[in-house]
Each structure stands twice: as structure tokens, then as C-alpha cells.
């Protein structure tokens, strides 16, 4: 299995010098499905945002390789064009920007698609995630419900077809039906060879995913303290993080 993402001894600071990620190591091979779980404040979102290149998160040590290339100095758009996609935990409202114009721009500028061919693909894909064509005239994320926001993130991932799909809590603030849809879209994209890095608190988002393929990691204070397979998800749901940390002696 070829390595897609390699994170070596990563240290990340925010707001000056406050360290959030402290010596994190993670390897994701092509088409693998990784789940990162951890209590609040353990650095999950920081990991996602750092991988995407958010300007407020500063790498103080270590390195990140994507397809063998060091990406720390790349801008977010350069990372996006290389095939990294992050579905935001809290997708941003971009006022006044119509979804039709936005998606068309993504397909033409980022994917190099013929502008005449974009309409059909956009219309087909938006139906897949339960949007009607009315959405095309609306502004990005404006007045969207929690479920709509998360489904709109999935819509963009479906259109852009990344190599690595990072999802930051795609299950937070989502209705049951949207959750099920997102889960089945995850299975579909993974089935098409997209590697997944899923950040979550709960196992429910995995309902449609084959449990045998999962690589599960537990994050605590900016470090992966335990890795395993699907049974780890169940243990966390039943016992909670506190008990696991006590048993593994991770509370030092």
C-alpha cells in the first residue's frame, strides 16, 4: 500500500505559543479509512485545520508529507488542488455568493472542466445529497440547517473528487436522516478509492461503513495515545474516554 499522508512528530501552536498538537504521528495509505476520536480539546479540529493549511495554526516541529511532498509551506488552495479536501465542522456563510456561480467556478477553475458541461454534473450531484435546484440561487450556507450545511460539504467533495477526504465532525448538529445519507456517501467515496480521515465523537456516522476496514486512533492532548480497529469505537461508546485513559496509563 502506497503512503498518501505521513505525519511525523508534528507540533502545532496557535495564538502565539500555545501548543495544541504535541508530537503526533500518523500514516494514511491510499484508499484507507481512518477515524480519529478524542475528548473535547484534544486537538482533533486543530489537526484537520493544520492539514488544510489554516494560517492561524503554526507548525513548530515535525513535518507533513502528502504523496511524498512536504506540504507545510503550501497555501490552502495548493493543498486543495493536490487532492486534500476538508469538510468543515462549521461551514462558513459566504454572503452574496450564489451556489451556482461558486460550484461552476470550482469545477472550471479547480477541475479544469468545460463550463458548458458543469450544469448537468452539478444538478445530478445535488440531487444525490437531497438538494433541489432551488439551492443554486441561494448564497453559500446562508440560512442552511445543520444537516444542509453538512450535506453541502459532501456535495462539494463529490464534485471535486479528492484523494484524501478529511471530515471534521460531519455528525455534529445533523438530523438523523442527513447523518445516514452522509454515512452512505462516505462508503461510496471510499469505495471509489478516496482515503478518509474522519474526526468524530460517535460511532453512528459509521453505520453504513464496513467496520472491518477501519483504522481507529484516539487523540489526547495533541498526541495519538492508542490505535486499533473498530472494537475501539465500541469501547469508547460504552466506557468513555476517561476509563480508557485510566486503563492504558495515558493519564501521566
Task: Copy the grid coordinates of residue 129.
Answer: 445529497
| 76 binds other proteins, rule: CB under 8 A | yes
Report, in Å, the least distance between residue 42 CB and other proteins.
Answer: 22
Between 103 and 226, name the residue whose CB sits nearer to other proteins: 103
- Written as nine digits, the cell of 169 is 465532525
Out of 60, 72, 94, 193, which residue is the one contacting other proteins (CB under 8 A)? 94
Say whether residue 56 binds other proteins (CB under 8 A): yes
Question: Segment 151-210, which members bind other proteins (CB under 8 A)?
Answer: 156, 160
Under rule CB under 8 A, residue 91 binds other proteins: yes
Q: Choose between 165 and 226: whose C-beta lies nearer to other proteins.
A: 165
Q: Report which secondary-structure segment, H or E, holds 183.
A: helix 176-191
- Smallest gap from residue 107 Cβ to other proteins (A): 10
By CB under 8 A, residue 79 contacts other proteins = yes
Q: How far is the CB of 97 from other proteins (least distance, A)?
A: 4
Q: Which residues does residue 22 pair with via DSSP β-bridges, in sequence order?
A: 11
CB of 216 within 8 A of CB of 188? Answer: no
Q: What is the dihedral of CA 94, 100, 101, 102, to 10 degrees?
A: 50
- Residue given cell 467515496 in the structure block: 189
| Size of interface with other proteins, in residues (CB under 8 A) | 32
Cα–Cα distance list, 248 to 181, 192, 218, 220, 243 (Å)? 35, 36, 12, 12, 9
Q: Which of residues 105-124 bind other proteins (CB under 8 A)?
A: 105-106, 109-110
Q: Is 88 in the site for other proteins (CB under 8 A)?
A: yes
- List Cβ neighbours of 123 (8 Å cut-off, separation of 6 or more): 133
Kindly identify the residues of this chain, within the stretch 209-238, that bind other proteins according to CB under 8 A. Answer: none
Residues in contact with other proteins, shown as a per-residue x/- string from 124 to 143 under the rule CB under 8 A: ---------------xx---
Q: Which of 27, 61, 98, 163 binds other proteins (CB under 8 A)?
A: 98
CA distance 53 to 10: 14
Q: Which is nearer to other proteins, 164 or 226 (CB)?
A: 164
Range 82-111 burial, b when 16+ CB lie within 10 A, else e = ebbbbbbbebeeeeeebbbeebbebbeeee
Residues engaged in binding other proteins (CB under 8 A): 52-56, 75-77, 79-81, 85-86, 88, 91-98, 101-102, 105-106, 109-110, 139-140, 156, 160
Amino acid at each position: 500500500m502506497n503512503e498518501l499522508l505521513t505525519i511525523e512528530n508534528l507540533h502545532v501552536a496557535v495564538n502565539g505559543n500555545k501548543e495544541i498538537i504535541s508530537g503526533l504521528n500518523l500514516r494514511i495509505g491510499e484508499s484507507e479509512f481512518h477515524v480519529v476520536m478524542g475528548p473535547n480539546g484534544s486537538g482533533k479540529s486543530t489537526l484537520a485545520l493544520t492539514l488544510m493549511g489554516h494560517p492561524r495554526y503554526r507548525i513548530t516541529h515535525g513535518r507533513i508529507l502528502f504523496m511524498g511532498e512536504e506540504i507545510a509551506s503550501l497555501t490552502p488552495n495548493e493543498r486543495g488542488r493536490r487532492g486534500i479536501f476538508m469538510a468543515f465542522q462549521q461551514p462558513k456563510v459566504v454572503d452574496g455568493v450564489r451556489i451556482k456561480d461558486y460550484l461552476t467556478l470550482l469545477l472550471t477553475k479547480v477541475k479544469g472542466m468545460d463550463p458548458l458541461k458543469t450544469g448537468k454534473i452539478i444538478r445530478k450531484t445535488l440531487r444525490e445529497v437531497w438538494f433541489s435546484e432551488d439551492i443554486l440561487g441561494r448564497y453559500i450556507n446562508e440560512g442552511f440547517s445543520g444537516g444542509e450545511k453538512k450535506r453541502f460539504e459532501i456535495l462539494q467533495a463529490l464534485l471535486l473528487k479528492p484523494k484524501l477526504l478529511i471530515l471534521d465532525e460531519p455528525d455534529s448538529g445533523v438530523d438523523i436522516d442527513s447523518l445516514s445519507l452522509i454515512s452512505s456517501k462516505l462508503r461510496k467515496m471510499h469505495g471509489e478509492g478516496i482515503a478518509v480521515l474522519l474526526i468524530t465523537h460517535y460511532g453512528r456516522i459509521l453505520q453504513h461503513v464496513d467496520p472491518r476496514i477501519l483504522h481507529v486512533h484516539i487523540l489526547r492532548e495533541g498526541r495519538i495515545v492508542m490505535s486499533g480497529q473498530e472494537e475501539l469505537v465500541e469501547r469508547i461508546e460504552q466506557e468513555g474516554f476517561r476509563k480508557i485513559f485510566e486503563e492504558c496509563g495515558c493519564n501521566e
